[in-house]
Amino acid sequence: MLFKPQYLLIISAAFLLMMCTPEKNYEWENGRWIDLTYEFSEETLYWPTSDTFEIDSVFAGFTDAGFYYESYNICTAEHGGTHLDAPIHFYEDRKSVEQIDLNQLTGRAVVVDATEPVSRDRDYQIKISDLENWEQSYGRIPDNAIILFRTGMGQFWPDAEQYMGTAKKGEEGVAELSFPGIHPDTAKWLVENRTINAVGLDTPSLDYGRSELFETHQIFSEQNIPGFENVANLDKLPAKGAYVAAFPMKIKNGSGAPLRIAAHVVD
């Protein structure tokens, strides 16, 4: 069968496109996963006014039927350890945990390194200039990215006094909290100038420890942008190129939930 010249051109172009297009699963097959989650245990850190993690044995051992069996009951506050803040946490009529689309919990990661200013001021609030410096080095923050801020505080986990500024509980502990966070002006700049899926960092809160109004939470929550707190191992991620998947326990009407978050990196 003979083809007209214009058809041959189209067929040739299609063949070359197939030959030059990499397999969709290529990067997933050749990369590796990095766990960004702290395990839940008696060492897990919580807000000073929250109950801590508890695990009680139901049964552990051999049954009368002769097979081995283990089962436990657990109790935890929504906001503790590596966890998700749902928008409803700080803004009325916004999404609760189960309402957050999975597409919003996955995406290309942008890792902004703020360890240097935090090393000089543990109450540092991440500035717009920190984002601008990142973009000068790596280009514009891509649409639908997950922004992760590395402050270096993760090195102190699970030492409450070093990580949170205090090991005290209750309101006395809240009054002595000291750790870095995201400045409200930076949050406002992000929601007005970039399109992001979510935001996270390696501290107990999006707002810095001494915050009283939690304005950063309010700004992100109003736009239905979830937050990831107490994220682990951010020092193992590149500034760009990683892909993040963050899946919380699906709690109906939840304002937050324990989070399993990981990043896929291609070396």
**Average of per-residue pLDDT values in the chain:** 92
Tell whether the model's pLDDT for residue 9 goes beyond 90.
Answer: no
Note the pTM of the prediction, 2 decimals.
0.89
Whole-number pLDDT of residue 5:
47
Q: Which neighbouring-strand residues pair with 74?
A: 55
Whole-number pLDDT of residue 17:
44
Question: 96 and 267 in contact (C-beta within 8 Å)?
Answer: no
Whole-number pLDDT of residue 10:
43
Whole-number pLDDT of residue 267:
82
* 117 vs 166: CA distance, rounded Å: 21
- Confidence category of residue 20, pLDDT binned at 50, 70, 90: very low
- Percentage of the chain exceeding pLDDT 70: 90
Q: Which pLDDT tens digit goes with each residue over 127-136?
A: 999 999 999 9
Domains in the chain, please, with CATH? 28-39+78-265 (3.50.30.50)
Measuring CA to CA, which residue among 91, 147, 99, 45 is closest to residue 248?
A: 99
Q: Which pLDDT tens digit goes with each residue over 42-67?
A: 999 999 999 999 999 999 999 999 99
Token representation of residue 169: 């509980």
Whole-number pLDDT of residue 123:
98
Q: Residue 185: what are its φ and ψ, rounded to 5°?
A: -65, -35
